[in-house]
């Protein structure tokens, strides 16, 4: 009988869940449905639901308080859809795969039992604004689907191959090791998907493919991928560093926080019993980025207003292009100029026509060039080329899919995860 996997992606502003079935561990999981609640930080949230090729629902939804609420609403929708015959009762779910942003030194997908749960809770201090929401969903699954096996997939896992000189911060090494202060890197589930999908598109094994990959969503990062493995990435100890995001500052001079507010080190009003965040973390993570410069977190809106001459939007747009081309240049050198493709992914990477144009224009000197026609409407496949011709290095758009990456890995590991 077919077994059901739920793959749950708790992002900073959305909860996305895909439903898969599989019969044996040698199967590719088959996607049955995809549902998401987005806009959690800018209510009212929106719910989108697709089953197979059918678009079932797209509506605004009130009263969603956070990720746990969003998940319960999603589960209710899935189990009450009579068209989704494979999932009529929550107990039909064998595995729930959870995207956990910070896994510190976890090196592989891990079954979540009581001990792992508490260990992950302790890690929340390293990613105070990310892990807590995902753990709330783990709790909700435990309550609503007690028979299913919860498995943690870590965003940080893909970056274990980053060399020591790259992941080390130039601070006291005893304190650094004791407190686990180093670059971890995130969006790794997405980069694993991108590396595999692009290698298959280029008809080469991942071990022979070098990429500069850009995951540009509410949180944005870049990654240098060498032979299918992470060589460097822009996020660090937490997802705050590197590129700016919807509400995140990205890299700043660390001294800036002492000039920003005298209360920077005090606990912020968002702190709760489980969550300890300072005013500085609150400001730089939640009240910076596009929201601070333009008043909106929607980069689509920022891009069109920038074109119409809105000064704040133009500043945000140009600032992002500036940071992006800086990292592309740096990673091009780190990869010795052997780059098979520059890959755009994530909401802004996939939909940001103007953004891709501005970035690729600036990195022409590295051998990248865009086909304006293809860039305006890329093919709807997992990977589409938007580059000019065969002479130039490839520029690709990848519709990254963290849920499918987790489900695929879960099927491969199913026997081991069940036995543990
Ligand atoms: N047409 C567009 N052009 C550029 N960016 C867009 C466009 N439409 C949506 N976006 C951006 O995509 C982001 C969402 O990306 P996504 O990867 O789904 O985010 P998340 O981090 O929540 O997973 C939105 O915050 C928005 O800024
Ligand atoms: C790691 C991270 O920033 O994730 P998201 O983009 O979902 O916020
Ligand atoms: Mg995301």
Positions marked active-site: 155
Domain match, 298 and 214 both: yes
Closest CA to 349 of 298, 291, 289, 399: 399
- At 381-391, the pLDDT tens digits run 999 999 987 77
- Any domain includes 418: no
Domain match, 288 and 210 both: yes
Domain match, 246 and 134 both: no
Report whether residue 289 contacts ligand 2, using a CB cutoff of 6 Å. no
- Any domain includes 29: yes
Cα 345 to ligand 3 centre (Å) = 10
> At residue 231, what are phi and psi to the nearest 5 degrees?
-105, -35
- Any domain includes 372: yes
Please state the ipTM of this predicted complex.
0.97
Boundary (domain end) residue, out of 125, 154, 183: 154
Q: How far apart are CA 336 and CA 363, in angstroms?
A: 16
Q: Which atom of ligand 2 is nearest to the CA of 218?
A: 6
- Any domain includes 13: yes
Low-confidence ranges of the chain (pLDDT < 70): 128-129, 273-274, 419-420
Report whether residue 217 contacts ligand 2, using a CB cutoff of 6 Å. yes
Closest CA to 159 of 201, 181, 136, 188: 188
Residue in 348, 375, 402 to alter for ligand 1 test, most ligand atoms within 8 A of Cβ: 348
Q: Count the domains in the chain.
A: 2
Domain match, 236 and 116 both: no
- Any domain includes 379: yes
- Any domain includes 394: yes
pLDDT for 201:
96
pLDDT for 419:
65
Cα 219 to ligand 2 centre (Å) = 4
In order, the DSSP letters of 111-168 are E--HHHHHHHHHHGGGSTTTHHHHHHHHHHHHHH-TTSEEEEEETTGGGGGS-HHHH-
Domain match, 346 and 210 both: yes
Domain match, 148 and 231 both: no
pLDDT for 294:
97
- Any domain includes 165: no
Domain match, 258 and 375 both: yes
Ligand nearest to the CA of 240: 2
Ligand nearest to the CA of 216: 1
- At 256-307, the pLDDT tens digits run 988 888 888 888 887 776 677 889 998 999 899 999 999 999 999 999 999 9
Domain match, 292 and 359 both: yes
pLDDT for 24:
85
Residue nearest to atom 7 of ligand 2 (CA): 11
Domain match, 86 and 223 both: no
Q: What is the CATH number of the domain that holds 74?
A: 3.30.420.40
Domain match, 7 and 101 both: yes
pLDDT for 40:
81
- Any domain includes 40: yes
**How far is residue 358 from each of residues 110, 275, 361, 389, measured CA to CA in Å?**
41, 39, 5, 18
Domain match, 246 and 361 both: yes
Residue nearest to atom 2 of ligand 1 (CA): 300
Residue in 186, 230, 247, 284 to alter for ligand 2 test, most ligand atoms within 8 A of Cβ: 186
Domain extent at residue 290:
202-398
Domain match, 257 and 139 both: no
Tokens of 108: 């592989």
């Amino acid at each position: 009988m077919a077994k059901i996997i739920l793959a749950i992606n708790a992002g900073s502003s959305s909860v996305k869940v895909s439903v898969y079935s599989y019969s044996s561990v040698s199967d590719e999981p088959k996607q049955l449905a995809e549902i998401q609640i987005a806009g959690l930080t800018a209510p009212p949230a929106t719910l989108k639901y697709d089953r197979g090729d059918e678009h079932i629902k797209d509506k605004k939804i009130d009263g969603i308080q956070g990720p746990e609420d969003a998940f319960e609403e999603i589960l209710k929708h899935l189990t009450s859809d009579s068209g989704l015959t494979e999932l009529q009762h929550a107990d039909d779910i064998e595995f729930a795969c959870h995207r956990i942003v910070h896994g510190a030194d976890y090196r592989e997908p891990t079954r979540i039992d009581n001990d792992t749960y508490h260990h992950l809770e302790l890690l929340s201090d390293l990613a105070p604004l990310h892990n807590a929401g995902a753990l709330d969903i783990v709790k909700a699954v435990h309550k609503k689907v007690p028979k299913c096996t919860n498995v943690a997939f870590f965003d940080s896992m893909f970056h274990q191959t980053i060399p020591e000189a790259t992941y080390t911060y130039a601070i006291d090494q005893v304190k650094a090791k004791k407190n686990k202060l180093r670059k971890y890197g995130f969006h790794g589930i997405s980069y694993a998907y991108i590396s595999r999908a692009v290698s298959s598109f280029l008809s080469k094994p991942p071990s022979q493919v070098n990429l500069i990959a850009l995951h540009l969503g509410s949180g944005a990062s870049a990654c240098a991928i060498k032979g299918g493995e992470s060589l460097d990435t822009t996020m660090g100890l937490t997802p705050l560093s590197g590129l700016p995001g919807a509400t995140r500052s990205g890299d700043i001079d660390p001294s800036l926080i002492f000039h920003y507010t005298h209360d920077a080190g005090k606990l912020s009003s968002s702190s709760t019993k489980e969550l300890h965040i300072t005013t500085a973390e609150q400001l730089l993570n939640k009240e910076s980025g596009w929201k601070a410069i333009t008043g909106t977190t929607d980069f689509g809106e920022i891009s069109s207003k920038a074109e119409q001459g809105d000064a704040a939007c133009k500043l945000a747009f140009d600032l992002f292009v500036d940071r992006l081309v800086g990292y592309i240049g740096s990673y091009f050198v780190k990869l010795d100029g052997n780059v098979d493709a520059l890959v755009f992914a994530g909401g802004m990477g996939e939909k940001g026509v103007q953004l891709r144009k501005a970035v690729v224009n600036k990195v022409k000197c590295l051998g990248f060039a865009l086909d304006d026609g293809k860039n305006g409407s890329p093919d709807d496949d997992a990977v589409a080329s938007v580059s000019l011709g065969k002479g130039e290095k490839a520029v690709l758009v990848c519709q990254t899919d963290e849920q499918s990456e987790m489900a695929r890995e879960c099927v491969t590991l199913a026997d081991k995860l069940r036995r543990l």
